[in-house]
Chains A and B, each alone.
Chain A
Amino acid sequence: MDIVNQLQRQYVDFLSSLYREGLLDDQFLQIQKLQDESNPDFVNEVVTLFFEDSEKLLHNLAIALSVDQQHVDYQKVDACVHQFKGSSSSIGAQRVRNICVSFRTCYDAKNLEGCLRCLQQVKDEYYLVKNKLQTLFRLEQQIVAAGGAIPIMG
């Protein structure tokens, strides 16, 4: 019992810190609410889709922005960032979403340097939240393996 309590407390502390630091917002809680006995892996499934989608988008963005100023396809950049903004917003990855918002001002202004800076920032934020979410899932697995239930945060 003690180990379960310890793990559960760790989980709550960790998840709380993600909200506190603004990495996740309320939408993540909404996503968690959709998980139940009939869909026990829902959060993991959606987040995995998000990871796959995001990595494709980052790859496409890197390609779109790897050319010289005159040849940048800003419409393509727009399409990618718009999608990234949408998906990060849908799972509650707040900081990623916020970078996408500032990214838009850069490509609207056709500012290649600004875009490259934003790309780096969005990559950093994405990998950070990815890392944190993977840690979160590992904690969940440990709790379940130890016979406990994953705490529901209100």
Chain B
Amino acid sequence: MPQTKELLHVLAVDDSLVDRKVIERLLKISSFTAVESGSSALQYLGLDGEKSSSVEFDRVNLIITDYSMPGMSGYQLLKKLKTSSALRKIPVVIMSSENIMSRIDRCLEQGAEDFLVKPVKLSDVERLKDYMLKGQGEDDKVKAAYKRKLQEDDPSSQSLSKRPPLVN
């Protein structure tokens, strides 16, 4: 049962300070941590192998990460998270300023829940709460297949969602 009264904890990863501020506000969730790199994210989650985790990692409900970052990319971070038995169940969403189909496919195949094209809007973020609240019952591959979308068709909604209407 989703515990809607529980504080939801989101970890956002982005090298841009402006974007971290915007994402934080977009999420409007009580518990929020922003870090500026993939390696900081892993450190925070206790995956760097050196320090012990600074948070109980089953308390992070969502990780939202930028794709292009210096050092570790969002994709590389995603891979590390999905190959960790401790962390792979945490939903991960990728953000990118570039709308490249092969990039989107690769991220979804690697287990990302969704792929948001920047700049991120309120409507994109509305759905993220669903990922955090629902359980892990669904088959991940099925979810990924339904999320494919031709983004050129629908400039008003830049993230993967239902197929765009054929008539405006």
Contacts and interface: CB of A to CB of B under 8 A. Distances in A.
Interface of A: 27, 30-31, 33-34, 39, 42, 45-46, 49-50, 53, 79, 82-83, 85-87, 89-92
A29 to B, nearest CB: 10
B155 to A, nearest CB: 10
A42 B21 CA distance: 9
Interface string B61-79: 0000000101000000000
Contacts of A39: 25
Interface string B11-42: 00001111101100110000000000000000
B18 A50 contact: yes
A49 B18 contact: yes
B26 A90 contact: no
A53 B26 contact: no
Contact of A46 (B15, B18, B121): B18
B21 A89 contact: no
A34 B26 contact: yes
B166 interface: no
Interface of B: 15-19, 21-22, 25-26, 68, 70, 97, 118-122
12 contacts: A27-B119, A31-B22, A39-B25, A46-B18, A53-B16, A82-B97, A83-B15, A86-B19, A86-B118, A89-B119, A90-B18, A90-B120
Contact of B16 (A31, A45, A87): A87
A87 to B, nearest CB: 4
Contacts of B19: 86-87, 90
A26 B15 CA distance: 23
Given A39-B25, A79-B70, A87 B122 contact: no
B17 A49 contact: yes
Given A30-B122, A34-B122, A90-B119, A82 B68 contact: yes
B21 A45 contact: yes
Contact of A86 (B97, B121, B122): B97
B97 A30 contact: no
